[in-house]
Amino acid sequence: MRIGLGYDVHRLTAGRPLYLGGIRIPHDKGLLGHSDGDVIIHAVIDALLGASGEGDIGRLFPDSDPGLKDVRSVKLLKDVVSRLRKKRLRVDHVDVIVVAESPRLGPYFEAMKEVLAPLLGVPLDRLGLKAKTNEGLGDIGRGRAIACWAVASLRTGSRSYKRD
Ligand code: MG
């Protein structure tokens, strides 16, 4: 079994749509980034790349690449999972903690899972999504940024999970 850890943080800014966990969430600010800024997917990608020994998201998808400007991160995740498959690696389980003062994310987790679990090739119960606030502390606590931690385990083999 292989395990990888991912972390990411993006600033929140007015005038950007908020994409998190592959879905658009109504909010007065969005995440700043060269891509759509989806901090959950970026942390998951780094966990997958760490487990597969393929470096990190910045190396694979550099923010100097104009072709990746405002790219939807779901597209990057698809690319990463297909790279894993070429190495005969499958996602076994992913667990996520997203740290955001607002908006409250719990109501969106089911919709995120419906998007992310099929991309990862896992049943819904092999993708954990959890949210915490930062208790008002620091820039995240003041609503200036959202951070995310992710851990992923991979297994070798080509058999898919059946959807539940
Ligand atoms: Mg990022």
Which class does domain 2-156 fall in? alpha beta
Query: Position of tokens 């409250």?
Result: 104
Cα(64) to centroid of ligand 1, in Å? 13
Mean pLDDT of the chain: 94
pLDDT tens string 136-149: 999 999 999 999 99
Cα(162) to centroid of ligand 1, in Å? 30
Looking at residue 164, its pLDDT comes to 47
Cα(39) to centroid of ligand 1, in Å? 5
pTM of the shown model = 0.95
Cα(22) to centroid of ligand 1, in Å? 13
Q: What would the DSSP string read from start to end of 129-142?
A: EEEE--TT-HHHHT
Task: Pick the range with the lowest mean pLDDT from 38-42, 66-70, 74-78, 111-115.
Answer: 66-70
DSSP 125: G
d(CA 158, CA 95): 21
Using the predicted structure, report yes or no on whether residue 26 has a pLDDT greater than 50: yes
Residue 93 structure tokens: 């389980």
Looking at residue 157, its pLDDT comes to 78
pLDDT tens string 103-158: 999 999 999 999 999 999 999 999 999 999 999 999 999 999 999 999 999 999 76
The residue among 65 and 164 whose pLDDT is bigger is 65
Cα(16) to centroid of ligand 1, in Å? 15
Which residues touch 13 (CB under 8 Å, ≥6 apart)?
A: 29, 30, 31, 32
